[in-house]
């Protein structure tokens, strides 16, 4: 649990319909990222060899699937956002910007081969990290609830982190953020410039950890902030969370 949070139920209970719609939108939005690397099985006659195709034709063949996927994902997200915000106190345009920005930042980090942003030991570990990020992304917009550890009940900070690692990789983490921070099975990281995607990041004051999130790259982390707020992405380089950052742990995958 997030230490320092009062045992208070958010007045806005989780809406199952909203979460289903959000999960669908997020899943469809990941299509552009997966379309770049997923193999395609061709059952029709084989096309001419790439070397015999004009350069313009080859470029169009590469860009067209990605453009169609981008357009489909954008249209789906635009259609669903009014439903996601129907019972929300956050204005629709603000919610749209928040969700779209979070999705863009997370998806930008998925293609490790293209960006080189994920430093890992091998392809297997890289795949596990991407599984963690995908699972975390589907939970964006889930309401905060003290003591919550499932999408139906809502999440507190450590409940969210534990749920992601348990359902994505079958890894059980301590329930409370301060216990996660002191778990010596996982590598301790004190320098925030050494963070890589999937690391657990811890925050607190006066030497006491009271909050945890999952690092998603580019100085940002995904977390369940506090009562009345939803799972979202924030920066840990500056501002409130930048000042509260204490350490990180790299989970042994």
Catalytic residues: 157, 211, 223
Number of residues written out for the chain? 253
Bridge-based pairing of strands 232-235 and 245-250 is: unpaired
CA distance 14 to 110: 28
Place of tokens 């969370």: 241
For residues 198 and 125, give the distance between their C-alpha atoms in angstroms, rounded to a whole number: 11
E strands, the chain, in order: 149-150, 154-155, 187-189, 200-205, 208-217, 220-223, 232-235, 245-250
């Amino acid at each position: 649990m997030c230490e320092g949070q009062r045992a208070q139920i958010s007045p806005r209970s989780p809406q199952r319909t909203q979460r289903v719609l959000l999960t669908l939108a997020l899943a469809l939005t990941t299509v552009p990222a997966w379309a770049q690397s997923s193999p395609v099985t061709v059952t029709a006659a084989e096309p001419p060899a790439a070397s015999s195709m004009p350069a313009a034709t080859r470029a169009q063949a590469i860009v067209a699937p990605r453009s169609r996927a981008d357009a489909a994902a954008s249209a789906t997200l635009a259609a669903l956002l009014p439903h996601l915000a129907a019972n929300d106190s956050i204005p629709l345009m603000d919610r749209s910007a928040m969700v779209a920005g979070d999705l863009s930042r997370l998806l930008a980090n998925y293609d490790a081969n293209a960006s080189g942003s994920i430093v890992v030991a091998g392809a297997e570990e890289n795949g596990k990290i991407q599984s963690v990020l995908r699972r975390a992304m589907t939970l964006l917009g889930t309401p905060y609830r003290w003591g919550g550890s499932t999408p139906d009940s809502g999440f507190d900070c450590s409940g969210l982190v534990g749920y992601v690692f348990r359902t994505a990789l079958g890894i059980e983490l301590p329930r409370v953020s301060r216990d996660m921070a002191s778990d010596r099975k996982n590598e301790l990281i004190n320098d925030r410039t050494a963070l890589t995607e999937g690391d657990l990041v811890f925050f607190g004051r006066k030497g006491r950890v009271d909050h945890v999130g999952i690092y998603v790259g580019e100085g940002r982390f995904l977390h369940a902030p506090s009562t009345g707020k939803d799972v979202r992405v924030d920066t840990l380089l500056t501002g409130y969370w930048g000042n509260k950052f204490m350490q990180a742990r790299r989970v042994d995958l």
